A = this chain, B = another copy of it.
Amino acid sequence: MRIGELAKRAGTTTRALRFYESQGLLDAQRTSNGYREYDEHDLRLVKEIQSLQAVGLSLEDTRPFVACLRAGHESGDSCPDSREVYRRKLAEVDACLERLNTVREFLLARLAFQDPCLVPEPKEFLCS
């Protein structure tokens, strides 16, 4: 299938697919006229990337999963590097949850007119 069909079947855009390729996450055969040609395996890769992005992983973080699938494993998260990404992300999420709960308490207190309440420290506020 060509890039347009892959995009449609994966529910994304051709621009995103070309971007993945530019980042080395995806590669494609070329037909004689220079068009990219994909198969079901590529569709699988794209879907893997999307589901990982859905849990807030960056494209960079998806590399181990893609490599794992390319290495022949049936699931992208059965390799050590992938599992390490999961663990790191879990720690980030936990930190973010804690942080957001503090913020939530702050907002509730302010809305309740309880004036002098602790302002959470800036820290990293990246909840992704």
Contact = CB atoms under 8 A, between A and B. Distances in A.
B122 A125 contact: no
A104 B111 contact: no
Contact of A125 (B50, B56, B100): B56
Contact of A122 (B53, B83, B94): B53
Interface stretch (A1-9, A19-27, A36-44, A85-93): A85-93
Contact of A128 (B55, B56, B125): B125
Nearest to A116: B75
A125 to B, nearest CB: 6
A121 B56 CA distance: 11
A121 B51 CA distance: 8
